Structures are given as structure tokens and as C-alpha cells.
Amino acid sequence: MGAVRHRFTVEEYRRMGEARIFSEDDRVELIDGEVLEMAPIGDRHIESVMRLTRLISRWALDTRETGLFVSVQNPLALGEHGEPQPDLTLVRRRGDRSGIPIPEELLLVVEVAYISLAYDRETKLPLYAEAGIPEAWLVDLTTDAIEVYSEPGPGGYRRLVRIRRDERIVSATLPDLAFDAAEALPPEG
């Protein structure tokens, strides 16, 4: 008999965390039942996440809509076998719900990528689309571009707009969320 892989559930994954199998400093996430180590975060990645957090938080506050939260590098619940940790999410809470955000609460998910570009594009974005998250951005630090994905479905996002540093990023689904792409990217050089 050959080796059998065990596909972890979110519940098992969380119990491993509670049992301190992973420390708070371990950068891991549960993707399709597998515990995967995330790529290290570099300076350009940190800078881009901070800039995006400021820009999207400012927009969320200006909308005056209650229940909007910007969540940075926290998990989201994607079914029984998935708990990824995107770099940033925009969450709309309804009522008194708390805990890990679920797809129905997510307005936008953002991944910032350099080393993890292929993984984020080919593995994580399709999961977000299958979950019905209306919009996802992939910040490609290898080319200083931002990819805006929308129109989710079981086969992935059907619409992609690629924005270069010298262009303006405009959300496909959120009214008035727009800014110069250069504001979200680390300085050139």
C-alpha cells in the first residue's frame, strides 16, 4: 500500500494552532486541505501592503458605510478545507457577527506577490473566484503592475484588467474606489 495524504479540515488546522504545533510567527495557511508555508515577506511587499491599507482604509472611511473593515494578513474561511491568509481584505460585517470573515462578507481580496506570484495567480485567485468573492487584486511586484480581477465563477475570474504604475486603478465593483497605481506600489529604484 502506498503513502496516503491526509487532507486537513479547517477545524483540525485550528486545533493544531491551539496545540502550538505552529507558533504565531509561523507563516502558514490551509489551502485545499494542505498546510503550506508562505513565502517570506520582503521590504517591497511590506511597503505595498502598508500603502494599500492606507488607501483602502481611507476610501472605506470616506464612504461612511458602517460595518466596513480592512483586514491585513488575517485568515478568511473558504469552506471545510481552506483558510488562506491574503495580504489584505475589505470586509463588510452585517449584524453582530464576529470571527474569521466568510466569502459572503468579502468585497475585495488583495494579494501582493513577488516570490509567490505564480502560486497566488494559479492557486489562490481561483479559490477566491470559486468562493464568489466579487473582486481580487494581484499586485505584481516583478513588473510593478496591479491586476484587477472581477466576475467570479467556478472556472476563475472572467475579467482581468492589468494596470501599470503610470495608470489609475479603478475598482471593478466598488464605486469610487480609485487611485493612481503608483500610490499603491513601492517607490521605483
In a domain, 45, yes or no: yes
Q: For every one of its 189 residues, what pLDDT tens digit does the chain have, with 9 covering 90 and above?
A: 567 677 777 677 777 777 777 777 777 666 777 766 767 778 999 999 999 999 999 999 998 788 899 999 999 998 887 789 899 999 998 777 788 899 999 999 999 998 889 989 999 999 999 999 999 999 999 999 999 999 999 989 999 999 999 999 999 999 899 999 999 999 986
Domain count across the chain: 1
pLDDT for 16? 73
Q: Which domain holds residue 136?
A: 40-184
In a domain, 32, yes or no: no
In a domain, 77, yes or no: yes
pLDDT for 28? 66
In a domain, 3, yes or no: no
User: Please, are residues 10 and 83 in contact by the beta-carbon 8 Å criterion?
Assistant: yes
pLDDT for 26? 72
CATH number for 164: 3.90.1570.10
In a domain, 27, yes or no: no
Supply the pTM of this predicted model: 0.85
